[in-house]
Structure 1
Amino acid sequence: MPHSYDAIVIGAGHNGLTCACYLARAGLKVLVLEQYHTVGGMTVTEEETLRGFWSDIHASGYQLANLSPVPRELGLLDRYEIIEPDIPFSHAFPTGDIISVHRDIEKTVADIARYSVKDAATWRVLMNRFLVEKDAITEAMFSPPPSFPVAAADFAASPTGMDAYRFSMQSVRSWANQTFEAEATKTLFGSFATFLGASPDDAGGAELGWLFASVLQNVGNNLVKGGMNRVTLALAEDLRAHGGEIRTNALVDKILGDAKRATAVRMESGEEIPAGQLIVSNVDPGHLVIDLLGVGMMGQEIVDKMQRYEWGDSIFVMFVALENPINYKAGPAARQSAHVHLSERSLDFFARIYLQCRAGVLPAAPMIVSWNDSAIDPSRAPAGRALMKFVILSVPYVITGDATGRVPARTWDEAREPYADYLIDLITANYIPDLKAKILKRVAHSPVDVSRRIISAVRGTLGQGAFLPYQNGSLRPIPELGQYKTPVSNVYLCSSGSHPGPGVSMAPGRNAAQVIFSDLRLDFSSVARISRRDL
């Protein structure tokens, strides 16, 4: 006889494990199924280059998690160590100039004032605005979203609602030109929108840039000692402590049942595992709807809507083991930063990237995020050595052209290494003069490699769907699934394809748990109490 479980969670990423932990604490018998060889999903840490060099394969920064109630509610903070750099992030330019955001806002203001006294004063005002709104922002992130009509009514009812709505739809270029005077400042804050795939002229980019930069200024851009996988390992430990089970190397092939109710999951091996009460999906919503459930359970209309869901722009990643620490052209502040944006000092620079990327062309000068892994966390590399990661934002998934003049190939399997060679030369020439000479080993992941490694990194993206005005809040991923529920009564969603979206916040997992608790008539507050020790 097969084992019987109250709840089956598909995917052992941070959101799947978060949801599973709350369910287990309520007394449900929970099984988590993970297709990869270890838990983590987008928070996996592995020896990707050489033995003893531990790289975060996807997510690196402990950012939104600083706002999350989950680590305190689940008692995770005793299970991993947080490293808090004094400089959350910097932006370095090819000229050797740099502008940094420090945890100490006075130092940030002084740094910005080197480029514009007016912009320095403006940033203080913007940060004060964030502090006023911080509790409301946090509450909105860690709660199921209001329906679209309710959200629209809230905008209309508030005296400042229309201004807030305008800001939520404003482009980075519009906001930056109205708010700042120095190109360096516009670039510093505008670049953050690129993390969520917004070009300078895309609607909604302004609020993303302001919010992301404000969070890092306020609560930091921390690293987890030993790697981000320590977070998911802590979640897994808590789940097992409350009777939950996890199976790795366990690929779910199909959810079984009918349009009213799911009854089991069928594994790739053919094994069928009954689901007593519910199934929760932490895989991307497209895979859930189109493949795992299908037309028979979801209906043609919803399947059609998911097929036109927008995934956003792909990424390219390079993991680099180094003989010893590098030196940035911009000086020591760059290496003291958790990460550094490397780009020209211009919003037009970002516009060119997106123009090339979305036309299928390999960008000649892409936006590069340089992670100082071992400089911030020495445990990531052997003594005397160094480790870095370079994330190249916004590259095409399907290559139709090349702006570098050095990559004739039109498939990623052929283009990966030539493009990586080009990028290393670019970074060495413009930002880190001693980078190339110090490389012991480089491993590059193309968008195709990224999607091969983890099913939910669709088309080499990291967010399970583009962050667009019509794919946010209760519209994420689509309105019919916007409350963590599917039309199949006992199948739920808990991935970053749901509100509030990507980032290691654990919010989608917690929010889905709240909805499930409500449907099961359980008291969520009984398992979400924060002990006095964690306050």
Structure 2
Amino acid sequence: MNSYDAIVIGAGHNGLTCACYLARAGLQTLVVDQYHTVGGMATTEEVTLPGFRSDMHAFGYQFANLSPAPQELGLANFGLELIRPEINYSHVFPDGGIISMHRGVDDTIASISRYSKKDGETWRRLASDFVQAKASIAEWMNSPPRSLVQETEQLAQQPHDIDGYRASLQSVRSWTNEHFECEETRLFIGAWACHASIAPDDAGGGRLAWLFTALIQDVGNRAVKQGMHRLPLALAAYLQSRGGEIRTGARVTRILIEHGRAAGVQLADGEQIRLTDKGVVASNADPRQLIVDFLGEENVGAELVAKMQRYEWGDGYMTIYLALDGPVIYKAGPDAQRSAYVHATPPSLEFLSIDYAQCRSGRLPAAPFVLMCNDSAIDPSRAPSGKAVMKMIVHNVPYEIRGDATGKIGARKWDEVKEPYADYLIDYVTATYAPNLKSLILKRVVHSPVDMEKLMASAVHGTVTHGAFLPYQTGSQRPLPQLAQYRTPVPNVYLCGAGSHPGGGITMAPGRNASRVILGETGKA
């Protein structure tokens, strides 16, 4: 029976990234995953009809633009190719209004200036602020998090940074009200916090919205050609070129502990895979699975398990995958059709606040924030000629349904709710934003939060970020202070997934950062 220097649990893009660096350093590395293919939240499948390739979760390649991993691993040699759209995203309004973020900042400013010339010039300054700070942001993202002591010392030494610290605590409403005079602009910038399940009045949302939008202005809202799956497939190919191994359809149920150290993992069928004497385990699963299920109270202590059980997951998602007979026409005009993403809401932060309040009280939102991903408009290879594929992400829905703000749905179980709620949403979007959407649908597939969790155990409660992205669960607090440096109480077991710094999304950063910690502690750096 083979034994390995490193076993990585979970073949999502972070687990594969970590494994690539471990294998590059000479460790005999195995990645195991319960799903039928690699990728985790970065898979692309023909979920609706043959030839219609949908990104199952992640579509935009955003913060990954700041990662050194693609260059360090030469992923272009293994099939990774990026597409940069002319229009990064658009925010459309019920009256047919639109603001678009173009490649060039001047064009974006012109789009904002249709509503407010002052806001357009404010955006020029904010976009420039990001360019000046980009190197330090990349360093922050691609390094283990600084401790609270280090952060405090830095603030003391550089008093001008206190403005940035203040901004990092502001809500979307506070920050956008401070910078912009027009509600349409506030939505155009602020809605990006919703991608991390941050409501308009949640702390920390303003800074996150700026990071997202200014990054996209600078480097583009890129997509991976032929689907996001090409990223994990490229990572897997690199790993195998370095002698690493991958096993899919293999679910880990626990980490074997002997003499206070991990000795291997056990699979659901009872098989045990062993480590060498100085081997390590890195987990790309969500942190609750790692601490509560794989390690357990007997190995990490009752206090840590109790804290992990109280961990906040954030709001659930619902996804509608669509195979379409042709491109969607938007009331707002052709720029929306050419956009990678379309955000569709009324021009009101209060609208989003009500939306989140309904979700967090357990009710189906009456008009949730729907992200429309124009997959095939950006990458025609995703659909047959003349056809289109779209993914609609309903950004915030309750995992447990206790009511219905639409007034139309009586059921309370997702298996009974998801299709009538999808009917309601498609009718709403068609009537309000995209008049030909409903007539184009050849086939749709709806995944509720419960479906997502069943397909992928780390999508806890139908979430996609391995934990809510709030100030007390970020940086040196993510996922918990005791686990914030990718280490666990078991000395050779590490975190390498989105539950650790810098968090969710396609970044490769948690995997790369964890590998640096592991290699430093094993003397292989």
Q: What TM-score range do you get, normalising by the shorter chain? A: over 0.9
Which letter does structure 2 place at the counterpart of 1:311?
W
Cα displacement (A) at 1:155: 2.1
- Secondary structure of the corresponding residue to residue 498 of structure 1: coil
Three-state SS of the structure 1 residue aligned to 2:31 is strand
Aligned residue number for residue 309 of structure 1: 311
Matches within 5 A, 1:291-440: 291-440=293-442
Find the aligned partners of 2:146 and 2:365 in 1 and give their Cα distance: 39
> Is residue 67 of structure 2 the alignment partner of residue 68 of structure 1?
yes
Match of 1:526 in 2: none
| Corresponding letter in the other structure for 2:492 | N
User: 1:259·1:296 contact (CA, 8 Å) conserved in 2?
Assistant: no
Q: 1:112 corresponds to which letter in structure 2?
A: I
Deviation (angstroms), 1:259: 7.3
Rounded Cα–Cα distance in structure 2 between residues aligned with 1:404 and 1:35: 37
> Counterparts in 2 of 1:136-151, with a 5 A limit?
136-151=136-151
- Give runs of aligned pairs for residues 55-94 of structure 1, distance below 5 A: 55-78=54-77, 79-94=79-94
Residue 27, structure 1, aligned to residue 26, structure 2: yes
Once the two structures are TM-superposed, the CA of residue 258 in structure 1 deviates from its matched residue by 4.7
Contact 1:480 1:486 survives alignment (8 Å): yes
Q: Give the match's secondary structure for 1:264.
A: strand
Give the letter aligned to residue 67 of structure 2. Answer: S
State the one-letter code of the partner of 1:77.
A
Distance 1:14 1:179 in 2: 36
Give CA deviations for 1:387-425 in whole Å, capped at 9, x if unaligned: 100001011000000011111110101100010000000
The answer as to whether partners of 1:4 and 1:274 remain within 8 angstroms in 2 is yes
Partner of 1:48: 47
Distance of aligned partners of 1:4 and 1:194 in 2 relative to their CA distance in 1, 3 Å threshold: same
Query: Within 5 A, what are the aligned runs for 1:257-296?
Result: 257-258=257-258, 260-276=260-276, 277-296=279-298
Task: Work out the CA distance in 1 between the residues paired with 2:35 and 2:182.
Answer: 46
Amino acid of the residue matched to residue 488 of structure 2? T
Contact 1:259–1:297 under 8 Å retained in 2:
no
Q: Which moved more, 1:322-331 or 1:277-286?
A: 322-331
Whole-angstrom CA distance in 2 between matches of 1:77 and 1:84: 15
The answer on whether the counterparts of 1:259 and 1:487 sit within 8 Å (CA) in structure 2 is: no
Rounded to whole Å, the distance in 2 between the matches of 1:390 and 1:259 is 49
Q: Which residue of 1 aligns with 2:502?
A: 500
Q: Which string of whole-angstrom CA distances, capped at 9 and with x for unpartnered residues, describes residues 277-308 of structure 1?
A: 10000000001000010001111011011000
Structure 1: distance between partners of 2:205 and 2:228: 27
Q: Which residue of the partner structure matches residue 472 of structure 2?
A: 470
Aligned to 1:99: 99
Where in structure 2 are the equivalents of 1:244-259 lying within 5 Å?
A: 244-258=244-258
Aligned length: 522
Q: Deviations over 1:128-147 (max 9, x none)?
A: 11111110000000000111
User: Which residue does the alignment assign to 1:533?
Assistant: none
Map of 1:17 onto structure 2: 16
C-alpha spacing 1:433/1:326, structure 2 compared with 1 (3 Å): same
Task: Supply the distance in 2 between the matched residues of 1:355 and 1:406 (Cα, whole angstroms).
Answer: 19
* Partner AA of 1:302 in structure 2: L
Give the aligned partner of residue 155 of structure 1: 155
In structure 2, give the amino acid aligned to 1:237.
A
Alpha-carbon separation, structure 2, partners of 1:420 and 1:513: 41
Mapped partners of 1:474, 1:259: distance in 2: 29
**Identity %, equivalent residues:** 57
1:77 partner SS? helix
Distance 1:116 1:469 in 2: 31
Q: Deviations over 1:77-120 (max 9, x none)?
A: 23222111011111001111100011100100111111000000
Normalising by structure 1, we get a TM-score of: 0.97
Residue 270 of structure 2 aligns with an amino acid whose one-letter code is: G
The ranges of structure 1 where at least 4 consecutive aligned residues each deviate by more than 6 angstroms after the TM superposition are: none
Structure 1 position 240 matched with structure 2 position 243: no
Alignment CA distance shift 1:259-1:85 (3 Å): farther
Q: Distance in 2 between matches of 1:444 and 1:483?
A: 37
- Matched with 2:173 is 173
Alignment match of 2:443 (pick from 432, 441, 444): 441
SS in structure 2 at match of 1:101: strand
Decide whether the 8 Å contact of 1:259 with 1:488 is kept in 2. no
CA-based RMSD: 0.8
Where in structure 2 are there 5+ consecutive unaligned residues?
none
* TM-superposed deviation, 1:384: 1.1
Local SS of the residue matching 1:495: coil
Instruction: Summarize the Cα distance change of 1:258–1:298 in structure 2 as closer, same or farther, 3 Å threshold.
Output: farther
Determine the structure 1 residue equivalent to 2:489. Answer: 487
**Partner Cα separation in structure 2 for residue 403 and residue 154 of structure 1:** 47
Return the alpha-carbon distance in structure 1 between the equivalents of residues 113 and 50 of structure 2. Answer: 44
- Tell me the distance in 2 between the aligned counterparts of 1:134 and 1:18: 22
Per-residue deviation, residues 443-499 of structure 1 (Å, max 9, x unmatched): 111000111111100000000000010100011000110000001000000000000
- Partners of 2:264 and 2:175 in 1: how far apart? 50
The 8 Å contact of residues 319 and 443 in structure 1, kept in 2 or not, is answered as yes
Change (3 A) 1:156 1:76: same
| DSSP 3-state at the match of 2:322 | strand
> For the residues of structure 1 that align with 2:186 and 2:296, how far apart are their CA atoms?
45
Q: 1:274 to 1:149 in 2, by over 3 A?
A: same
Deviations 1:183-222 (A, max 9, x none): 1101111101111111111110110010000111111111
Measure how far apart 1:162 and its partner are: 2.1
What's the offset of the Cα at 1:152? 2.2
Secondary structure, counterpart of 2:266 in structure 1: strand
Instruction: Provide the rounded CA distance (Å) in 2 between the counterparts of 1:311 and 1:489.
Output: 26
1:195 aligns with 2:190: no
In structure 1, the residue corresponding to 2:67 is in which secondary structure? coil
Structure 1 position 502, deviation (Å): 0.6
Q: CA deviation at 1:154?
A: 1.6
Runs (5+) with no aligned partner, structure 1: 524-535
Task: Give the aligned residue type for 1:164.
Answer: G
Query: Amino acid of the residue matched to residue 188 of structure 2?
Result: L
Q: Give, in whole Å, the separation in 2 of the partners of 1:469 and 1:258.
A: 36
Shift, 1:253, TM fit: 0.9
Question: Deviation of residue 61 (structure 1)?
Answer: 0.6
Cα distance between partner residues in 2 of 1:481 and 1:209: 26
Q: What SS is found at the alignment partner of 1:160? A: helix
Secondary structure of 2:85's match? coil
Aligned pair 1:7/2:6, yes or no? yes
> How far apart, in 2, do the equivalents of 1:456 and 1:151 lie?
30
Aligned to 2:61, the other structure's residue is in SS state coil
Quick check: 1:204–1:468 contact (8 Å CA) kept in 2?
A: yes
CA distance in 2: counterparts of 1:77 and 1:312, whole angstroms: 35
What one-letter code is carried by the residue in structure 1 that aligns with 2:205? G
Q: How far is 1:260 from its partner?
A: 2.5
Instruction: State the shift of 1:64 in Å.
Output: 1.1
State the Cα distance separating 1:237 from its structure 2 match.
0.3
Structure 1 match to 2:37: 38
Q: What is the rounded CA distance, in whole Å, between the counterparts of 2:190 and 2:61 in structure 1?
A: 21
Instruction: Check whether the contact 1:155–1:164 (CA below 8 A) recurs between aligned residues.
Output: no
How far apart in 1 are the matches of 2:26 and 2:318? Answer: 42
**Paired residue secondary structure (2:443):** strand
